[in-house]
Structure 1
Amino acid sequence: MRQMLQDTINLLLSAQADQVCAAEYGVNDPDRTNRRNGYRHRDLDTRVGTVDIAVPKLRQGSYYPDWLLEHRTRVESALTSAVATAYLKGVSTRRMDDLVKSLGITGMSKSQVSTMATDLDQMVEDFRTRPLDAGPYLYVFADALTITVREGARVVTCSVLLATGINAEGFRQILGMQIATAESTSSWTGFFRDLKARGLTAVGLITSDAHCGISHAIGDVFPDASWQRCRTHYAKNLSDIRAPVGVEVGAHDVSLHC
């Protein structure tokens, strides 16, 4: 998210600088009114970390992105939401155009908006399909979220399969995300096979809930990995037990119920 947020901000800065110059960067255009002259780098603190923004410099006059530097909180929220939406639903020119207008940037041409949408789409695709070569990821956590989405004229329920891992430096990373029609053995198997094809090997321990679909998929795709039940899910299962009034639930009954 931090890398895509940084790249998206720099895309917008470059596009607006081209607008000020009345021509795209590196293009010989008789209508050009100014030229680019390198960048000045500045750190921008956000909720996802510090990003390096490259503010274009001009040969004549100066370019000041007031929409970013004076309204950074609102801009950060809008950009983060846009990047997350692009990751989940894909990138479209209309979504990028709505984002540009919400930031108060006016006069952006349709071709510039289309180019930015294409670039952001490529960023998202590169992240989703990137090789998992920062491992080995000895510890992997898998879980699923149930969400409602709109498909055409219907609202349906889907499962978002997520996997995070601890890399060689001890930091947690998002390894992959996939939307499935249901949380089943086949969906988890396909998800794990995709992770394995991207380089997820030498997994020592996988932590998840006790869903039978995920446990079968782990045994099929990562037969050498150990499995551990998530203690948070286990505690929630215990708290969800409801005994009839006047009936005491013993330890043996609890273990069978879980």
Structure 2
Amino acid sequence: MLTVVNPEDPTPAAVSAPAVSGGSLIDEIVRDGARRMLAAALEAEVAAYIAAHAGELDENGRRLVVRNGHARPRQVLTSAGAVEIVAPRVNDKRLDEQGERRRFASAILPAWCRKSPQINEVLPLLYLHGLSSSDFVPALQQFLGTSSGLSAATITRLTAQWQDEARAFGDRDLSGVDYVYLWADGVHLNVRLDEAKLCLLVMVGVRADGRKELVALAEGYRESTGSWADLLRDCKRRGMHAPVLAVGDGALGFWNALREVFPDTREQRCWFHKIANVLAALPKSAHPGAKKALAEVWNAEDREHARRAVAAFKLAY
């Protein structure tokens, strides 16, 4: 059983075996990033709302608008899976013109919201473009569907917070951890704003004890050798030792960069991508059987059994 760990949190979270594939790992990273960013944005939205009405008091001098704990956890569905959100609540004791109690309504996460199909397309842009308020606004508009709910001051505060977190993560010392395996993949963004051919370069490492963690997340131009080499050199500068084995897709940029920076690391094509490439060359009717046959190859207990499974696949397909 492999596990995923936050470098700043020593307590590992268990992950099922299928999460080994590159796509599953990235989805998990996206879900965790979505949860953290939504929580921070919701807290900032409520804080701004309360501060805007801090001067409104009742006859006893008590504030009419105050915090009221948190709502029950609820899940927002994304294309990467369900993200659990615990939204802060507001107790607004003011009355409107009709004598009805006013209610705080979040523009970020409305009460009816249960699904956000754009979240993991725009979330990487919040990492990439969240470093300046001018770039953050258009990304936020696509994330929420509107720019309302967060003032310019709140956006600036959140931007500074995430910038500090990103800088601390990107500058952390890697000399104390040995990664046996390293998975690398490029995530190409569907929502690009004005950036052409932009992608995220993602590296996930596996420690000797089987725990898995995000090693690096950086902006890249396509998946060029230069972009991957810059990222690998930066990790090496911060003390990262050469992993025993690197796993990636067929993109030549990563492999050329790996041979330059860590020439002793062994290379292996990712089975997730291998299977996708094989299935793309077969009719859909053959996919169920082919998947099962390919699983016999990569799940083989030794080389001889793997060779037999490969021979059986060739005969069948």
Which bin holds the TM-score, normalised by the shorter protein?
A: 0.5 to 0.7
Q: TM-score, normalised by structure 2?
A: 0.52
Q: 1:151 to 1:224 in 2, by over 3 A?
A: same
In 2, Cα distance between equivalents of 1:72 and 1:132: 40
Shift of 1:140: 0.9
More deviation, 10-19/91-100: 91-100
Find the partner of 1:110 among 137, 152, 160: 152
In 2, Cα distance between equivalents of 1:133 and 1:102: 42
Q: Which residue does 1:14 correspond to in 2?
A: 43
In 2, Cα distance between equivalents of 1:110 and 1:158: 27
Structure 2: stretches of 5+ with no match in the other structure = 1-29, 58-62, 95-101, 282-317
Q: Which residue does 2:184 correspond to in 1?
A: 142
3-state SS of the aligned residue for 2:74? Answer: strand
- State the number of aligned residues: 231
Q: TM-score, normalised by structure 1?
A: 0.61
Aligned pairs for 1:228-243 within 5 A:
228-231=268-271, 236=277
Greater RCO, CA 8 A, separation 6+ = 2
In 2, Cα distance between equivalents of 1:18 and 1:119: 15
Shift of 1:206: 0.8
User: Are the aligned partners of 1:9 and 1:53 in contact in 2 as well (CA < 8 Å)?
Assistant: no
Q: Which residue does 1:95 correspond to in 2?
A: 138
Look up the equivalent residue of 2:182 and give its one-letter code: V
The CA RMSD over aligned residues, in Å, is: 4.5
Find the partner of 1:188 among 209, 228, 242: 228
Q: Which residue does 1:217 correspond to in 2?
A: 257
In 1, Cα distance between equivalents of 2:121 and 2:65: 32
3-state SS of the aligned residue for 1:73? Answer: coil
Structure 1: stretches of 5+ with no match in the other structure = 241-258
Q: Deviations over 1:55-97 (max 9, x none)?
A: 14549589765653623324x4455444222124445352366
Q: 1:220 to 1:125 in 2, by over 3 A?
A: same
Q: Which residue does 1:203 correspond to in 2?
A: 243
Q: Deviations over 1:110-144 (max 9, x none)?
A: 32333334434444555555555895431112234
Look up the equivalent residue of 1:71 and give its one-letter code: W
Q: Which residue does 2:306 correspond to in 1?
A: none
In 2, Cα distance between equivalents of 1:189 and 1:97: 31
Q: 1:209 to 1:85 in 2, by over 3 A?
A: closer
Percent of paired sites with the same residue: 19
Aligned pairs for 1:24-43 within 5 A:
30=55, 33-34=63-64, 36-37=66-67, 39-40=69-70, 42-43=72-73
User: Are the aligned partners of 1:176 and 1:195 in contact in 2 as well (CA < 8 Å)?
Assistant: no
